[in-house]
């Protein structure tokens, strides 16, 4: 019987609530698919600031380093918003953990089941069969990490801030491979999004992507789109895309737009995959819901645990190669949700059945 060794970082707000339910589902999947769990909890984000004085303590880093994957909740909340920006949970935990483990590829499925089209702000006739796309976002390059990054006071007394957008060929090539692999497992189409009419980094992005796809995957249908148009097209006809592929900041914005058109943040999971392989030969990765800590509903037991449960499924698929168990969990979530078990998502606008009850509904279909 295989043992899956991973770190559990529930974080703040609804993080611990949805994590508990997701771990119950994972334990049950283990019994069914013959694997056992060996996981260790560690603090991250606001709770880590409270307990250790820093959002990403060394002790948490060590727990992650000793693991094959990281199961992450979410971090942040009003309690820590008055801290200096550099010390706030999102910036001081999320960005360093991505950098530490070279988590350069963010895979975010945008899935809306046909039965739930009423949860999307898009008109039903635009998405008669729901939505099924995936966004591949470069996660460790571009303007969020480029140097110089500074704020200074000029001689005339006004302030000036600088962010730098940088990309190298190797960074673009390795994320191109992830886009290709993703497209091969789906509809064989990739739309690469950039701003090549204005940005130097985008000119390089388009050149490298075109050459890499031509050499390594000529069978994939590759198209290019400017980011402003992509934002419009996502709202107009999302299913024209199969794999939406882009750099860090554009992906940050477009994947959130994708989240909203899919109806509920409480349903969307994501995987951030690393350059390093784990000891099993699979990518080391961090798996988390797309939403945040939802302070408006935290502590009420009504948060939707599905995004966290689907993050578990992604972890099983990518970092442990447990494809059967991953698919079984995804099917169980779909059945639970489409058979009328809805949670407290504001987007759904229906009476919540509660986080634990939602977990039980998923378990009943596993």
How far, in whole angstroms, is CA 351 from its chain's centroid?
27
Q: Looking at 38, 50, 228, 351, which residue is catalytic?
A: 228
Cβ proximity to ligand NAD: between 95 and 211 the closer is: 95
Q: How far is the CB of 307 from ligand NAD (least distance, A)?
A: 5
Does the annotation mark 212 as catalytic? no
Residues that bind ligand NAD (CB under 6 A): 14, 18, 74-77, 90, 94, 265-266, 288, 291-297, 303-304, 307, 344-346
Cβ proximity to ligand NAD: between 180 and 265 the closer is: 265
Separation between Cα atoms, residue 250 and residue 143, nearest integer Å: 10
Separation between Cα atoms, residue 330 and residue 310, nearest integer Å: 6
Does the annotation mark 168 as catalytic? no
Question: How large is the C-alpha radius of gyration of the chain?
Answer: 20
Q: How far is the CB of 246 from ligand NAD (least distance, A)?
A: 18
Separation between Cα atoms, residue 257 and residue 229, nearest integer Å: 13
3-state secondary structure (DSSP) of residue 292 = coil
Give the single-character DSSP code of 142.
G
Does the annotation mark 252 as catalytic? yes
Separation between Cα atoms, residue 181 and residue 13, nearest integer Å: 35
List, in sequence order, every beta strand (DSSP E) within the chain.
Answer: 2-11, 35-41, 70-74, 103-112, 131-138, 146-153, 159-164, 189-194, 221-226, 243-246, 269-277, 283-289
Cβ proximity to ligand NAD: between 138 and 242 the closer is: 138
Q: Looking at 5, 43, 104, 144, which residue is catalytic?
A: 144
Does the annotation mark 195 as catalytic? yes
Q: How far is the CB of 229 from ligand NAD (least distance, A)?
A: 26
Query: Residue 250 is encoded by which pair of tokens?
Result: 């554009």
Cβ proximity to ligand NAD: between 30 and 266 the closer is: 266
Using an 8 Å Cβ cutoff, are 193 and 244 in contact?
yes
Does the annotation mark 24 as catalytic? no
Q: Looking at 256, 335, 356, 365, which residue is catalytic?
A: 256
Cβ proximity to ligand NAD: between 75 and 243 the closer is: 75
Q: How far is the CB of 353 from ligand NAD (least distance, A)?
A: 12
Q: Looking at 194, 195, 212, 345, which residue is catalytic?
A: 195
Using an 8 Å Cβ cutoff, are 184 and 220 in contact?
yes
Q: How far is the CB of 221 from ligand NAD (least distance, A)?
A: 32
Residues labelled catalytic: 144, 195, 228, 252, 256
């Amino acid at each position: 019987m295989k043992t899956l060794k991973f770190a559990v970082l529930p974080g703040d707000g609804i993080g611990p609530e949805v994590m508990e339910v997701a771990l119950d589902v994972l334990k049950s999947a283990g019994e069914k698919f013959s694997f056992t769990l060996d996981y260790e909890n560690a603090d991250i984000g606001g709770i880590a600031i409270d307990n250790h004085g820093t959002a990403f303590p060394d002790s948490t880093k060590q727990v992650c380093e000793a693991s094959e994957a990281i199961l992450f909740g979410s971090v942040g909340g009003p309690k820590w918003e008055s801290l200096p920006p550099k010390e706030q949970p999102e910036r001081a935990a999320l960005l360093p953990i991505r950098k530490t483990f070279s988590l350069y590829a963010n895979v975010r499925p945008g899935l809306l089941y046909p039965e739930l089209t009423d949860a999307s702000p898009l008109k039903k006739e635009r998405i008669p069969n729901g939505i099924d796309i995936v966004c591949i976002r470069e996660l460790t390059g571009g303007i969020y990490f480029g140097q110089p990054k500074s704020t200074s006071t000029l001689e005339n007394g006004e302030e000036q801030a600088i962010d730098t957008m940088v990309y190298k060929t190797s960074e673009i090539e390795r994320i191109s491979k992830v886009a290709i692999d993703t497209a091969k497992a789906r509809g064989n189409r990739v739309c690469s999004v950039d701003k090549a009419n204005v940005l130097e980094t985008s000119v390089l992005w388009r050149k490298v992507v075109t050459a890499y796809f031509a050499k390594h995957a000529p069978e994939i249908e590759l198209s290019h789109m400017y980011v402003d148009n992509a934002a419009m097209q996502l709202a107009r006809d999302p299913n024209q895309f199969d794999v939406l592929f882009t750099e860090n900041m554009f992906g940050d914005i477009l994947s959130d737009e994708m989240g909203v058109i899919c109806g509920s943040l409480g349903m969307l999971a994501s995987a951030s995959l690393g350059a390093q392989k784990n000891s099993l030969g699979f990518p080391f990765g961090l798996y988390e819901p797309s939403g945040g800590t939802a302070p408006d509903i935290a502590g009420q037991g009504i948060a939707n645990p599905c995004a966290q449960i689907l993050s578990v499924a992604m972890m099983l698929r990518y970092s442990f190669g447990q494809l059967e168990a991953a698919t079984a969990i995804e099917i169980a979530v779909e059945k639970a949700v489409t058979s009328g078990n809805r949670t407290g998502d504001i987007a759904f606008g229906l009476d919540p059945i509660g986080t634990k009850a939602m977990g039980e509904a998923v378990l009943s279909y596993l």
